[in-house]
Amino acid sequence: MGRKLPPGTKIVLASHNKGKLREFSDLLSPHGIEMVPAGELGLPEPDETAPDFAGNARIKALAAAQASGMPAFSDDSGFCVAALGGEPGVLSARWGGPEKDFSKAMALVNERMGEATDRRAWFVAALCLAWPDGHTETFQGRVDGTAVWPPRGGKGFGYDPMFVPLGGTETFGEMDADAKHAISHRARAFAQVLAACFA
């Protein structure tokens, strides 16, 4: 049984990523939850030292909850490619360099894939809710698909323009937000959050 977040709760979103801020604002607002970005509170970004998505999500959520005294919500997500042994994975943002340039990151993925015929790829999102007393709850979602080149579409963010979900023809970068939210890795993890903590 998840610890509940009643309507009217104010929570910190432990992210400085503008794309994630937009997506979570869209996902949380119908449930009466007020989201405060970590950047507005001047909270630093902790080092993500865990070897997996769930561990890094917990690090970020706990740091924000304990620094702010409010419940905090975090996401750690990444793009994984079968031909690269699951990379870039937890290092997805770092493949874009210090400036987090995802056009550069996508080009690097394509370069390293070379002539690989296995184009399977997937996105993973781990979401963590943390409370100032140290309690955490973590949820994980995944969506499978294909890595494509060249990238297509100017919507979404990150690696979205080079990923076509299974059964689809558009990349996440070409999809409208509502269409992406219906099937994305983040939406699948968020559905679990809703069932556990918002019911």
For the annotated catalytic residues, the residue numbers are 76
Q: Which residues contact 198 (CB under 8 A, 6 or more apart)?
A: 4, 5, 31, 33
Gap between the Cα atoms of 71 and 4, Å rounded: 11
R_g (Cα) of the chain, nearest Å:
17
| DSSP of 53-64 | HHHHHHHHHHHH
Query: Residue for token digits 């939850």?
Result: 33
φ and ψ at residue 78, rounded to 5 degrees: -165, 170
CA distances to 59, 168, 196, 199 from 17, in Å: 16, 26, 25, 28
